Amino acid sequence: MTKENVTQNQITEGVIWRQLLIFFFPIMIGTLFQQLYNTVDAVIVGRFVGKQALASVGGSAAVLSNLIIGFFTGLSAGATVIISQHYGARNTRRLHESLHTAYAFSIIASIVIAVLGWFLTPWLLTAMKTPADVLTDSILYLRIYFLGMISVLIFNMGSGVMRAIGDSRRPLYYLIVCCLLNIVLDIIMVLVFHLGIAGVAVATVISQSVSAILVTRALMRSYDLLKLIPASIRIAPAMLRAELRIGFPSGLQSCMYGITNIIIQAAVNGFGTDPAAAWAAYGKLDAIFWTVCGAFGIAITTFSGQNYGTRRYDRIFRSVRICLAMSLGICGTLLVFLMVFCRPLYHIFTTDINVVKIGVYMLRYITPSYIVFVFIEILSGALRGIGDVLFPTLITLGGVCFVRLPWILLVVPRHHELSTILVSYPMSWIATAVLLIIYYFYRRSRLRDRIDTAL
């Protein structure tokens, strides 16, 4: 047995809190660097081009790109769960099928998204009420971004597969390299060649292409039980159905969040360029929280999946408790930091006093409620790891469709204020968290019954 396999077996046998942290930190740091792709674009154009450019890169364009990536990431979660379960069971044949099916699906999906994105971008941005003074640049940025979609999807799928088998370090190393490359290219494109929005978009595409190549190369060379063979990349229908059975509900859940964010972005755009720019910068600041919380979600999904594959159900329960406690502690500390230092953080993106003032108000109004989302992330991640995605997805969609959307569509037009828009987030999160906690304890009791029956 290789040293690599010994390390990865610790997910099913080692000290839980220690292994969760060992697995969590590379994911968190890696995701932070991934977030820096678009954040660096926003900082460069916001400081050296202007607030209109900041709104172009970080406003409607960012919401649309996040919608697409979020939907695909949800779909790819099906592949990562299947792979983690087969890896826990050491089933090499199914590992081979699931990996190559996932890669084939990523390539096909990227082509479809690129074509649709190119042609639909002007209509989508106009429908979102993107301010006229940023519309042209937003279209340009998104179209270039969509042309590089194959690199985005390949990297997200490939890095997800690597994390599913317990390797969270290589994706981190690749992201660090490519993020530094993106920063250098951004500076060259904007400050040296004066390409503005087009320059930062091209820099992002080049950097993401490098990360996709590095991940693909690692999957071809670095693992014993799992090896990518380009000639074997094809769809296995039965495996694709299994991956989509888990992945589609997750993708739909992410898509619904994305759609509501689009509607909210359109409402914010209605207040003008300054609120749109403030909201764009806010989206980069609160991404720090989502990065940390999401990293814990990925960690518990992998732990649940591998332990479920080896039928270590008792270890799943302990992992959830420990992961939830650590997530609440770290995320809570982070939220306090954002509340205290939000003003100087906003000045990283813009020197416009009014934009900073609006952004500080947004952040301090909504950020305290983020702690509720920790329960949603950890519990849904644990359930996803054991293959239970339908009911958690329905619960999440209920919070979006029956709480947030009606509020935005019915109440916001009557009370056209920023606070009315912002309060829709904690309302939907609280409703979702309560129902999800109840469902988790129900599923836990069912698994305990299975343990008792086996004994």
Structure confidence by residue, pLDDT tens digits, 227-246: 999 999 999 999 999 888 88
Q: What percent of the chain has pLDDT over 90?
A: 31
How many C-beta atoms lie closer than 10 Å to residue 221's C-beta? 9
Q: Please tell me what DSSP assigns to residue 413.
A: T
Look at residue 34 in the predicted model and tell me its pLDDT: 66
Look at residue 5 in the predicted model and tell me its pLDDT: 42
* Backbone angles phi and psi of 434, in degrees to 5: -60, -45
**Residue among 157, 137, 161 nearest 60 (CA):** 137
Look at residue 13 in the predicted model and tell me its pLDDT: 76
pLDDT of 41 strictly over 80: no
Q: What percent of the chain has pLDDT over 70?
A: 93
Domains of the chain, residue spans:
17-454
What is the mean predicted confidence (pLDDT) over 327-354? 90
**Residue among 255, 274, 272, 266 nearest 126 (CA):** 266
Cα 154 to chain centroid, rounded: 15
More confident of the two residues 382 and 15: 382
Cα distances (Å, whole numbers) of residue 277 to 195, 223, 346: 21, 44, 11
- 2 pLDDT band (50/70/90 cuts)? very low
**Residue among 231, 226, 224, 223 nearest 86 (CA):** 226
Look at residue 223 in the predicted model and tell me its pLDDT: 85
Per-residue pLDDT tens digits for 245-295? 888 887 887 777 777 777 887 788 888 888 888 887 887 788 788 888 988
Question: What is the per-residue DSSP string for 263-305?
Answer: HHHHHHHTT-HHHHHHHHHHHHHTHHHHHHHHHHHHHHHHHHH
Q: Please tell me what DSSP assigns to residue 115.
A: H
pLDDT of 198 strictly over 50: yes
Look at residue 58 in the predicted model and tell me its pLDDT: 62
Please tell me the distance from the alpha carbon of residue 132 to that of residue 56, in angstroms, as a whole number: 10
Please tell me the distance from the alpha carbon of residue 8 to that of residue 448, in angstroms, as a whole number: 26
What is the mean predicted confidence (pLDDT) over 200-227? 90
Under a CB-based contact definition with an 8 Å cutoff, are residues 200 and 190 in contact? Answer: yes
Of 45-54, 85-94, 167-176, 344-353, the one with minimum mean pLDDT is 45-54
Please tell me the distance from the alpha carbon of residue 388 to that of residue 229, in angstroms, as a whole number: 30
Specify the residue for token string 């920790």: 374
Structure tokens, 284: 């980069």
